Chain A
Amino acid sequence: MARLRELAKVIRSKNAGALLLTLDIMFDNEEAYRTVFNSGVLSPRRIASLYNLSDNQVEIIAFEVALAIKITIPRHTIAGSPGDSDVYGAQQHAPLFDLEITAS
């Protein structure tokens, strides 16, 4: 058992436009990528619960050629509108760090 932060090289968040937030998890070796991918932990349900969303608002795309997994979710506030706390969306990644990954 390992936490996602111990297996990944990059865990980052950023706006994908003013309405969406995209979370990228990138690996520097294929084994770590496969372990995480096959564990099924990065599921819409799990991500939805971390970000207070419903399952159908979460899109998860594996991008094997770059050993990366991309998660795209709606922003809670349009970027830069009153009440927004993160105009660039660059600091919304932390809840992913401690996800427990169990080898399947």
Chain B
Amino acid sequence: MRPIKIMAASGMLGYGFTEEGFNHGLDLGVDLIACDAGSADPGPYYLGSGTPFVSRIAVKRDLSLMIRGGTQEKIPVFIGSAGGSGSDKQIDWTLEIIREICDEQNIYPKVAVLRTELRPEQLVSKINSGKISPLGPIKNLNENDADETHKVVSMIGAEPFQQAVVEGADIVIAGRSSDAAIYAALPLMRGADPGLAWHMGKIIECGAQVIEPREGQDCVIGTIYHDYFTIEPGHPDRRCTRTRVAAHTLYENPSPYELKEPSGTLITKSATFEQIDDRVVRVSGSKWEPSSTYTVKIEGVKKLGFRTVFFAGTRDPILVSGINKFIESCQTRVERDSKAIGIEKENYTLNIKVYGKDAVMGANEPLSDQSPHEVGILVDVVANDQDTSKAVCAKARYSLLHTDFPGRMCISGNLAIPFSPSDLSAGEVYEFNIWHVMECNDPMETVRMEFIIPNDPPKERLNG
């Protein structure tokens, strides 16, 4: 088997990479340029609304270079979890950018689009046949949960990428994808050891996290040989270190030893890491345990309503010293005042956080008895519609600003409000209600694949 070289352009499409690192990587003769474009870390809003969390300008810059590189080297370009959450709407957003790039570069690539969004009703038969189970501490799904779901995506493995390549794709734009699968797919179909291919994919998916010095995102290259793989930076002046590479398997995973993928589990227990020169780390010994059932992770959100927030500070020492009791009394007052305008307590959620006290850690805060000289107060109201959330937030603002407390001297107002308007509509609110795994009959079951040529070929080309 000849070595297979995979370049991860960046840890996240739109987070950038250096042209020097990218070009140096291409000079090494890579077989694939790929980039993960998604994460669930920014929370449920992005899947719910179909909004990207990176800027269009930044994504276009990264994609332009990747596509130009792919055309020049005649190698495929893969994007996984397009648009952030990999929903259909975010795929369409990505395709629109690709159309512009193809037009500007005057190229006509064959683009495979792998849509992985599911209709919530598709879950019902799976729920009823016991094919969906929780991925961690979350309740089992029932039909009602499927009804309530606003958006749900399936996280695909390596096989749909491979299918797209078999059918001649130059560029693959995929919905929600396993990060490692984006990079493991091509080596696997060319006969690489699956333990090595998946482990390599897992290490390079976060881009420059394994690179020193850490100066923003950049390209990383994984090369798979017969019984080991190497990790090196694209940039000639940067280096990969054994510590960073070994430590990377810890990152964002519940266990560094077992990483679950749709078709099996990567076992890194007996993996060894060696620094073979200043810039390159060699990894061997990673194992793969194929699974008897194919499972995809599913991520879904339900819509909760609309949010209004209000933020202010207080520097009054008497108020700060009794802030917890004061907040409690305001909460009671907001409930009463909201009811007076016809808004029942069941129709909204009100969260008040005191920054400077225990806002970040809540009940886990070990120093909650300490008294700072000033605190920030955040009011967060979620209700079925924007008007209701605004109305409750206004009652909370008024209450915090003007409610008496024992020993009060500052009777013209308890708060320093930093801007006008004081209450900010934060739009739609979603919640992850699906964080499960689903058994599939085959790897393409949750995938809708289509091929497009994003740029209309000129007439003479068609006629010729």
Whole-angstrom distance between the Cβ of A92 and the nearest chain B Cβ: 6
Let me know if B432 and A80 touch, CB within 8 A: yes
Most central of A51, A70, A92 by chain B CB within 10 Å: A70
Interface assignment of B198: CB less than 8 Å from any CB of chain A:
no
Q: Does A26 contact B (CB under 8 A)?
A: yes
| Bound CA–CA A17/B259 (angstroms) | 13
User: Are B432's CB and A70's CB within 8 A?
Assistant: no
A76 within 8 A of B: yes
Contact, CB under 8 Å: A18 / B362: no
Within 8 A of B (CB), among A14-42: 14-20, 22, 24, 26, 28
Known: A15-B41, A83-B349. A70 touches B360 (CB 8 A): no
Cβ–Cβ < 8 Å partners of A51 in chain B: 364
Q: Which of B82-90, B134-142, B177-185, B398-406 contacts A (4 or more CB under 8 A)?
A: B134-142
Identify 17 residue pairs between A and B in the complex whose beta-carbon atoms are under 8 Å apart, listed by A's number: A19-B136, A19-B435, A22-B254, A24-B250, A50-B366, A51-B364, A61-B255, A65-B271, A66-B246, A70-B250, A76-B364, A79-B40, A79-B41, A80-B430, A82-B429, A83-B349, A92-B360
- Interface residues contributed by chain B, number (CB under 8 Å): 44
Interface pair A72/B364, CB less than 8 Å apart: no
A66→B41 contact, CB < 8 A: no
The answer to whether residues A72 and B254 also contact, given A82-B380, A82-B431 and a CB cut-off of 8 A, is yes
Q: Which of A61-98 contact B (CB under 8 A)?
A: 61, 63, 65-68, 70, 72, 74, 76, 78-83, 85-88, 91-92, 94-95
Given contacts A17-B435, A65-B273, A80-B44, whether A94 and B429 have CB atoms under 8 Å apart is no
A100 within 8 A of B: no
- CB pair A20 B136 closer than 8 Å: yes
Q: Which chain A residues lie closer than 8 Å to B251 at the CB level? A: 14, 24
12 other A-B residue contacts (CB within 8 Å) besides A19-B435, A59-B254, A61-B256: A17-B435, A18-B435, A20-B136, A65-B272, A65-B273, A66-B256, A68-B247, A74-B137, A80-B43, A82-B380, A82-B431, A95-B366
A52 at the interface (CB under 8 A from B): yes
**B233-277 contacts to A (CB < 8 Å):** 243, 246-247, 249-257, 271-273
B389 to chain A, nearest CB (A): 11
Contact A79 B254 (CB under 8 A): no
Q: Are A65 and B246 in touch, CB under 8 angstroms?
A: yes
Closest 10 CB pairs of A and B: A80-B43, A19-B136, A66-B246, A66-B247, A16-B254, A72-B254, A87-B43, A63-B256, A74-B137, A81-B431
- A15 CA / B255 CA spacing, docked (Å): 12
* A50-B41 contact in complex given A79-B432, A82-B349, C-beta closer than 8 Å: no
Q: Which residues of A contact B317 (CB under 8 A)?
A: none
* Cβ B252 vs Cβ A22 within 8 A: yes
Indicate if the CB atoms of A76 and B250 lie closer than 8 Å: no
B339-375, CB under 8 A of A: which get 1 and which 0?
A: 0000000000101010000011111101000000000
CA distance A41 to B349 in the complex (A): 39
Interface positions, chain B 23-51, Cβ under 8 Å from A, are 40-45
| Contact between chains at B136 and A74 (CB < 8 Å) | yes
Q: Is B256 in contact with A70, judged by CB distance below 8 angstroms?
A: yes
| CB-CB under 8 A for A16 and B253, given A80-B43, A87-B43, A95-B366 | yes
Chain B 96-153 interface residues, beta-carbon cutoff 8 Å to A: 135-138
Report how far A52 CA is from B366 CA in the complex, Å. Answer: 11
Residues of A within 8 A of B136 (CB): 17, 19-20, 74
Partner of B431, one of A14, A20, A80: A80
Which of B138, B247, B351 is the one whose CB lies under 8 Å from A83?
B351
Q: Which partner residue on chain A sits nearest B255 by CB separation?
A: A61
* Residue from the list B43, B351, B360 in contact with A79, Cβ < 8 A: B43
